[in-house]
Amino acid sequence: MTAGLPGTGIGGMFYLMSALATPLREAYLRVRGRRSRGWGMVATQTAIAGAILAGVWATGWLLGLALSASRSVIPAVATLHPGNLLPAVALLFSVGTLAAVLLGVEVLRLWIRRRPDRETSIKRYQGRRAVAAGGRRRRIVLLVLGAVVTAHARPAAAQSGNLTTGHLGRADSAFTAGDTRAAAQEYAAVLAADPWNSHATYRLAQLHRHDPRLALRLFRRYVALEPSDPWGYMALAEMLARAGRFSAALRCYDDALRLAPDERDAVVGRARTLARARRAGAAIAVYEGWLTAHPTDAEVRRELAAARVAAAPAIMPLVGGSRDSDGNATLRLGGAAELGASGPTRLGVRATREQIRDGGTAIGLDELTLRAAALPRGTLQVDLEGGATRVDAIGGARATLIPTGQLRARWRDPVGGPAIDLRARRNVIDASPLLVTNRVVRTEIGAIVELPVARGLKLRGIGRTAALSSSFDVNHRTTFAGVAAVALTPILEVSGQIHEIRYSRPSSAGYFAPRLVQIAQAGSYIELETARSIVLAFDLGVGVQRVAARQGAAVGPWRHALRLYSLIAVPLAPGRELRFELDSDDSGVATEVATESATTAQWRYVSMQVSLRVALP
């Protein structure tokens, strides 16, 4: 190197030439449509190289001025050139030296054979790093000049290698020790210094599986960095399936199978995704294909049996009833049947016979409903019911056939964003003989919109409007509610709720129709599954309410408002499940069941239903 001139050594000149060549390389990659690192780094490295060149030139110019000024004090041995050639001579000398070194390196490469890197899977070999922390590195053994070139002749992007290696080592240690918070911080530091580090990208995506949006972005980044690693496609497919984007997940599994056709996790993962998408026929075919070649795989055999049960036809006998504070009691007997389905649509039929009594009067009604449940996309679910309810003749009135039905469409953003639940229904109010005798029918439409505003915090807006027709009049009810819900754990959600219900007019058809009802409740929802696959769900609300009973009347005092819903599902055997549901209310009109069934503001009720689902062979 040239003493006294910064940046003019062999390593420095190699850096300058590499930095000045980055705009040409970036333009070439863009024209060819290849992956590039962006113009931000190019501009930064070019600016640094320009500053170094300016410093070198300024240093040579100042040295030339100093030598010229010293001629008056110290006699010169030789006559200097009248111009200041020192900066140019210094640069030319350094460039010439560098050219000689590089030429020697290229000549020596003719006798040295480079060994290709071996890529390993991250998920298959957890103890080894699948991708080197900065990409593939060339191994060139040099006899004389190799040490000098290796120490100084590296691209500008590798200047922070020691820092990256330190963060990566600490991140891997924390990941192995189970310290996810420290590991996430260290992997983020690695990516801040080296955005193209595929190992850190994969690990950080694994650590953020609870955040589907971020995890999907990181797994996509890893696939772009390592397009030849099938495990990257499988990890991305798993996240997509969890988000309900089944078509995109299946495409990723297909990419993984092209790279590793016999990989078990790719085959089984694709079958599981098909089963979750309710494409049971396709899932069964994939499972059977794998078992043909691997008949001893017990786990796949169990999953195949579960897929066959899900696709098989089933029957569901049920018995239920209710009782309220006015002495009304109901008893419901019936059953449902589901047809076999290999696609995303399931068809069925339901028939029930119900008897309603109040101590002195009894009336019955029969209901027949055709049902369809479809999952056209993983983010959209549609449930449709249509049929009729026949009300028995009583008091000289003839039997009546009333069309009934329900439509529900639910859409949810695949990465934890907003959700919309739309409902429309028409049904007979059957809480008391008086309501059935007066043919009270509810026709209602409503919507629930959910918006996430922070991690774990969601806001829900609820709006419904209903027309209540009877033998005497037609009434209208509107409901508005706001809910702020916080998910404390994956199984526990707490919420604060405010409801307001209004009726357009009083009614003599047998239900309580106040001018205004206001309800404020704190609620909690718990859903968990035990090791034996028993599902327990509880929805509890505790709060207060106040009522303006008559049109034009003032709102009354606050009183307690309680509600409880619970579901217990117990698997008895493969294809057999016992379900128990309990619904109770002590708030007058706080729940959907109680809204048109209540007779006073202090009305209370409890209902139960037991059903058994049996899959047919």
Residue labelled with tokens 């604060």: 496
Q: pLDDT-based confidence at 50, cuts 50/70/90?
A: confident
Distance, CA of 493 to CA of 488 (rounded, Å): 6
Average pLDDT over all residues of the chain: 79
- Chain CA centroid to CA 504, Å: 42
Structure confidence at residue 144 (pLDDT): 34
Give 115's pLDDT tier (boundaries 50, 70, 90). very low
Query: Looking at residue 446, what is its pLDDT?
Result: 95
Q: Average pLDDT for residues 310-327, to the nearest whole number?
A: 90
Using a 10 angstrom Cβ sphere, with 0-12 exposed, 13-18 middle and 19 or more buried, the burial of residue 162 is exposed
- Judge contact between 459 and 484, C-beta under 8 A: yes
Question: Where is pLDDT greater, at 4 or 172?
Answer: 172
d(CA 443, CA 542) in angstroms, rounded, equals 29
Tokens of 12: 């420095």
Question: What pLDDT was estimated at residue 105?
Answer: 61
Cβ-count burial of 534 within 10 angstroms (0-12 exposed, 13-18 middle, 19+ buried)? Answer: middle
Angle, CA 199 vertex, CA 193 and CA 202 arms, to 5°: 105
Check residue 116 and give its pLDDT: 38
Per-residue exposure over 261-270, b if at least 16 CB sit within 10 Å of its own CB, e if not: eebebbbbbb
- Measured CA to CA, the distance from residue 507 to residue 501 in angstroms comes to 15
Of residues 179 and 420, the one with the higher pLDDT is 420
Whether the per-residue pLDDT at 517 is higher than 70: the answer is yes
Give the pLDDT band of residue 524 (cuts 50, 70, 90).
very high
Determine which of 126-130, 194-198, 206-210, 212-216 has the lowest per-residue pLDDT on average: 126-130
Residue with tokens 């027709």: 469
Q: Which helix (H) or strand (E) holds 340?
A: none
Residue-level pLDDT at 568: 94
Task: Tell whether the model's pLDDT for residue 312 goes beyond 60.
Answer: yes
How far apart, in whole angstroms, are the C-alpha atoms of residue 116 and residue 148?
Answer: 23
Query: What tokens were used for 136?
Result: 């593939």
| Closest residue by Cα to residue 160 from 123, 113, 125, 194 | 194
**Residue 499 confidence class, pLDDT cut points 50, 70, 90:** very high
Q: What is the pLDDT of residue 15?
A: 66
| Cβ–Cβ under 8 Å, residues 483 and 494 | no
Give the least confident one: 1-10, 157-166, 216-225, 368-377: 1-10
- What's the pLDDT tens digit per position in 341-354? 777 788 999 999 99
Q: Which pLDDT band holds residue 480 (cuts at 50, 70, 90)?
A: very high
Is residue 333 within a helix (H) or strand (E), and if so which, with residue range? strand 329-338
DSSP annotation of 157 reads G
Q: For position 111, what pLDDT does the model report?
A: 54
CA distance 475 to 172: 67
- The pLDDT of residue 477: 93
Residue 547 Cα distances to 89, 399, 507, 563, 586, angstroms? 96, 36, 16, 17, 14
| Residue 50 backbone phi and psi in degrees, to 5 | -60, -40
Give percent of the chain with pLDDT exceeding 90.
33
- At position 92, the amino acid (one-letter code) is L
CB–CB of 252/240 below 8 Å? yes
Q: How many angstroms separate the CA atoms of 123 and 235, rounded?
A: 9
**Residue type at 408 in one-letter notation:** R
What is the per-residue pLDDT for 159? 43
Residue bearing the bigger pLDDT, 573 or 467: 467
232 in Cβ contact with 202 (< 8 Å) = yes
pLDDT single digits (tens) 53-67: 777 767 767 776 766
Model confidence band, residue 14 (pLDDT cutoffs 50, 70, 90): low
Read off the pLDDT band of 163 (50, 70, 90): low
How confident is residue 412, by pLDDT bands cut at 50, 70 and 90? Answer: confident
**For range 360-364, the mean pLDDT:** 88
Task: Please check whether residue 546 is in contact with residue 559, taking contact to mean a CB–CB distance below 8 angstroms.
Answer: yes
Q: What is the pLDDT of residue 325?
A: 86
pLDDT per position as a tens digit, 529-580: 888 889 999 999 999 999 888 877 788 899 888 889 999 999 888 888 999 9
Residue 393 confidence class, pLDDT cut points 50, 70, 90: confident
Structure tokens at 533: 């696959």
Structure-token pair, residue 414: 């695949």
182 vs 93, residue with greater confidence? 182
Q: C-alpha angle with apex 246: 242 to 247, nearest 5 degrees?
A: 150
Which residue type is seen at 261? P
Tell me the pLDDT band of 507, cut-offs 50, 70 and 90: confident
In the DSSP assignment, the letter for residue 599 is: S
**Distance of alpha carbon 506 from its chain centroid, rounded?**
47
Whether residue 545 contacts residue 561, with contact meaning beta carbons closer than 8 Å, is answered with yes
Q: How far apart (Å, rounded) are the C-alpha atoms in residues 369 and 316?
A: 14
